[in-house]
Structures are given as structure tokens and as C-alpha cells.
Amino acid sequence: MSGRKIFSKGISQIIINTLFNKESEADNPYELTAREREVLKLITDGYKNREIADKLFISTKTVDKHRANLLQKLNARNTAELVKYAIQQNMV
């Protein structure tokens, strides 16, 4: 695309928030639920879906749904982008 770099909406928002140092919005700019943040933390800790389900006493289908919600809300394409977001938000 004519030499321009394209970032996902989620990554672009993180960059913008960082540049303008909007601490209040940067804390939870995508309105993640407490459970989604918990699942994201466990993903970044390297837990598999089954392990997350066992740890949180929920089904693997529920973990799958939380993961899908995270991907959608953060406009992430994969787990690596979820982990990158968590690192940038100092969640780990």
C-alpha cells in the first residue's frame, strides 16, 4: 500500500495512548471484563485453554469464548498480539 505501514486498530490505539500519555484510558481502553483480563494474564503466563479452565473453574468452551472476545475487542489476529497487548499494558 504505497509504502505505508498498517497496524491493527488495537495496536494503533495503544500507540496513540502511549504518545499522549492518557493513563486513565490506557488502564482499560477496550473495556475488558475482569474475567477477560484474568484469562489474558493466564494466556501470557503460558497456560493452555484446558489449564485456564481448570484454574478458573470454568469450561474450556468458556475459555474459548473469552479468548475470542479478547481477539475481537483488541482487534488482534493471534495469541502473540494478545500477549503483546498485555506486555504494553503492564499486565505481566
The residue extents of the domains of the chain are 32-92
Residue with cell 485456564: 52
The predicted-structure confidence for 12-29, as pLDDT tens digits, reads as follows: 777 776 666 544 445 666
Q: How far is CA 54 from CA 20, 23, 26, 48, in A?
A: 40, 34, 30, 10
Domain 32-92: CATH architecture, name and number where available: Orthogonal Bundle (1.10)
pTM over 0.75: no
Give the residues of the chain that fall short of pLDDT 50: 22-25
